[in-house]
Every structure is written in structure tokens, then in C-alpha cells.
Amino acid sequence: MNRFEPNLRIPGPTSLPDAVREAGARQMVNHRGPEFAVLQNSIIERLKSFYLTANDVLIVTAAGTGGLESAIVSFLSPGDKVLGITIGAFGDRFAKIATVYGAEVTKLSFEWGQAADPAKVREVLKAGGPWKAVLMTHNETSTAVTNPIADLAAAVKEVAPDALLIVDAISGLGAVPFKTDEWGLDVVVSGSQKAWMVGPGLSFVSVSPRAWEAAATAKMPKFYFDLAAHKTSAESGQTPWTPAVGVMFQLDVALNLMAEEGLDAIWKRHEAVGAAVRAGLTTLGFKLLADPAFASNTVTGAWIPEDVEWKTFNGKLRKLGLVVAGGQGALKGKIFRIGHMGHVTIPAVLNAIAVLEQTMLELGKPVTPGAAVAAAQVAALKALGLVK
């Protein structure tokens, strides 16, 4: 994070710890041999400990979107009634995949920046059905909002207890509280390049016994993304198709680092960096995109000042070594997003706030030098309980 090493603050791929990076340089092994079986079995057991689940967890060689596709085609049939709860671009994508494969999808959309409302979900479920599945997004990366999955899942279980709960947890799981079994979630998808601090190329999917029952009669066409084939292979320590071995090497190391820190400490750290970023941005005069009650602790979105072009704004940040993400869909060119998941510390986000402060000064905006960095630090220390 000096002049030559930019501060990569996008919501994935996230920056890799050195030990994880270096594992990417390992020589290949036979993916059908005993070393690989030991590696995969050990990775799966550790993934379960972060998913907080006793369900199967399978590894798919694909981006997170491929994991989402596997979560649709492995369990559903054309014509199935599916509720797609969406609060942004990734919720829309999830619903779209189900539609493409022939599900009868009812889309329940909430305003971008807002979380999904369990009462509204209850209402829509009551009005239709029978529901085969409900799709929901844990942490909506496009709007920087974290949905109250526990409440949403409870609402579904109350009104449509037979519906499978299929959750996109790609950009939150492993960073912020997520309890697969306690919340009764059937299928949960995550991706290597997010909280897991690993390069992109792998997606993880947990599958409940109830979902496996559904898989037995699921009729959507599938081959590469057939999770039942992945389960069969995993039972002998293999994958049905050649896995991204190098990314698995990295994951092996990253899971050790995560286990050393511990899940509670990881969650607390993300709470602190999330609070820091929001406090810093607010102090700089930025308007945040997310409803404060549901602001994500893995990514923050804010509006670019109205008189400034995205390209100008982003160019200045890049020159100072800060790499952020732009807006998606209707928000393209209007917002920027700061990722703070996985390999992230309080100093790393203070660095980002410092660059933004300098940029706002360069743009002639009225900011009090040092105030945003100080506010961010105080917010982080408060979240850690070190300051009242």
C-alpha cells in the first residue's frame, strides 16, 4: 500500500495476504491423487466451520455467479414457483438465472439502498404459491446493504415452510455474522475472492438434506453445475471436473489464517472497519447509499459529488494509490464503492479515507483537514469497545 502497491479497496477480488499469494505459486499436483483428496477434505471441513453448518459444502470451479447458477439448476424444475427477493443488481441476477432456466419467478424488489422487509415478504408469499424456493441475497454488493437474513428466513418458514431457502452469501459470509444452520438455510453460496482472501475461481455451496431431496427430482438441465455430481465426487476426495488447484492452495492457507483469528474476532474487525469507513465518508460530506440500519460491514457505497465526473474522481483516487469500484446498473457513474472485507485492517481503511480527503480538497470541497481520518479512527475504536 505504498506508491507501488495500490490499496485495492474493491468489493472483490480482495487483496491477498502474502502467505496466501505465495501459495498461488505452488507446483500442480494430481487432482485425482491422495494429496488433493486430503486438501479438499480439510478445506471442506474448515469451510463448514465458517458456514456454521453441518450440511454438505461443495466446491465449484467458477466465479460466484456460477455458484448461483448451481444453486438454481441443481434443485429446481421448469415451472417451479420461485420468489426472488431483490435489493440490487445481484438479487436481480439471481432471479434472472432462475427465469432463464424456466422457473416461474415472482420478483419482489426493494428500492436500491434499502433492505428487504420481512413483512412484505410474508404478504407476497401469502398471496401466491405453492412456493418451491425463495431466493435472497445476504449482502448486496451493488448497494452495500446487508439483508436481515434471519428475519427473512423466519418469515418464509412461517408462511411457506416447504420452500427451499436459497441464499447468495457471496460477499458477506466469512466476514459478518451468518448462521447457516441456526437460520435454517438450505442452500448457501459464497465465493473465494471475497471474505476468504483468495483469488477468484472457486465458489462454495452448502446444501441441506431437504435440498438434496429436491435435487433428486429437479428437472432443470445441468451438467457442469450439477451439485449432485460434485457431492458424488467429493465423497472420494475429488471434483467431477478439473478444479482450480492453485486457488485451492491459496484457500488452504487463508482458512488457516482465518481460524487463527477466530470467527468472532473476524466479525468484530469487519464491524470496526465498516464503522470507520461510514464515519470517514460522512465527515467528508459524502451521502451514503445504504439505509444506516442495514449498512454493510463489507462494502460501502456513496454518491459522487454531483458536479464531479466519475472518471475525474476515480482518476484522482487512482493517482493517490486507491482503487475503488464504480456503480452498477442505474448507479453507474453516480456512486463509488469501497470494499472492506477479508484482508482488511483499520489502518487500511484510514488510508482510503486519507486519499478521499486529499481528493476532496483537490476538488475544492469544504473539508476540515484530518477530521475524516480522526472520525474514522474513533468510530473503529468505538466498535472495538476501546472508546465509549
In whole angstroms, what is the distance from residue 134 CA to residue 143 CA?
21
In whole angstroms, what is the distance from residue 82 CA to residue 328 CA?
25
| Angle between helix 118-127 and helix 149-159 axes, rounded to 10 deg | 20
**CA 108 to each of CA 56, 88, 135, 142: distance values in angstroms, whole numbers, following the listed order:** 29, 11, 10, 17
Residue 299 DSSP SS3: strand
Work out how close the CB of 161 gets to a copy of itself at its nearest, in angstroms, rounded to a whole number.
29
Instruction: Give the length of the chain.
Output: 388
Reading the block at residue 229, the C-alpha cell is 455430481
One residue of 220, 279, 281, 290 binding a copy of itself per CB under 8 A: 220
Region of 41-49, 122-130, 245-253, 369-377 interacting with a copy of itself (CB under 8 A)? 245-253
The 168-197 contact track toward a copy of itself, x by CB under 8 A, reads -----------------------x-x----
Work out how close the CB of 270 gets to a copy of itself at its nearest, in angstroms, rounded to a whole number.
19
For a copy of itself, the closer of residues 63 and 173 by Cβ is 63
In whole angstroms, what is the distance from residue 47 CA to residue 206 CA?
9
In whole angstroms, what is the distance from residue 298 CA to residue 10 CA?
10
Report if residue 107 touches a copy of itself, rule: CB under 8 A. Answer: no
In whole angstroms, what is the distance from residue 189 CA to residue 64 CA?
7
Query: What is the maximum alpha-carbon separation in the chain?
Result: 62
In whole angstroms, what is the distance from residue 210 CA to residue 83 CA?
18
Work out how close the CB of 64 gets to a copy of itself at its nearest, in angstroms, rounded to a whole number.
7
**CA 344 to each of CA 18, 168, 190, 264: distance values in angstroms, whole numbers, following the listed order:** 13, 22, 18, 15
One residue of 161, 221, 292, 369 binding a copy of itself per CB under 8 A: 221
Report if residue 243 touches a copy of itself, rule: CB under 8 A. Answer: yes
One residue of 7, 53, 66, 360 binding a copy of itself per CB under 8 A: 66
Residue 83 phi/psi, 5-degree rounding, is -100, 125
Work out how close the CB of 274 gets to a copy of itself at its nearest, in angstroms, rounded to a whole number.
21
Report if residue 236 touches a copy of itself, rule: CB under 8 A. Answer: no
Report if residue 310 touches a copy of itself, rule: CB under 8 A. Answer: no
Question: CA nearest 206: which of 175, 238, 176, 183?
Answer: 183
Work out how close the CB of 102 gets to a copy of itself at its nearest, in angstroms, rounded to a whole number.
7
Work out how close the CB of 147 gets to a copy of itself at its nearest, in angstroms, rounded to a whole number.
21
Give the count of residues interacting with a copy of itself (CB under 8 A).
Answer: 56
Instruction: Give 307's Cβ-side CA count (13 Å radius).
Output: 4
Would you say 372 and 226 are in contact if contact means Cβ atoms under 8 Å apart?
Answer: no
For a copy of itself, the closer of residues 191 and 274 by Cβ is 191
Work out how close the CB of 165 gets to a copy of itself at its nearest, in angstroms, rounded to a whole number.
21
Report if residue 350 touches a copy of itself, rule: CB under 8 A. Answer: no
CA angle, residues 19, 24, 30, in degrees to nearest 5: 125
* Residues near 378 by beta carbon (within 8 Å), at least 6 away in sequence: 279, 387
Report if residue 140 touches a copy of itself, rule: CB under 8 A. Answer: no
For a copy of itself, the closer of residues 67 and 118 by Cβ is 67
Report if residue 5 touches a copy of itself, rule: CB under 8 A. Answer: yes
In whole angstroms, what is the distance from residue 383 CA to residue 365 CA?
29
Region of 46-54, 79-87, 270-278, 323-331 interacting with a copy of itself (CB under 8 A)? 323-331
Work out how close the CB of 328 gets to a copy of itself at its nearest, in angstroms, rounded to a whole number.
10
Work out how close the CB of 126 gets to a copy of itself at its nearest, in angstroms, rounded to a whole number.
30
Work out how close the CB of 26 gets to a copy of itself at its nearest, in angstroms, rounded to a whole number.
7
Report if residue 8 touches a copy of itself, rule: CB under 8 A. Answer: yes
Residue ranges that bind a copy of itself, judged by CB under 8 A: 5, 8, 10, 12-16, 21-33, 61-66, 69, 96-97, 100-102, 191, 193, 199-201, 220-225, 240-247, 250, 323, 325-326
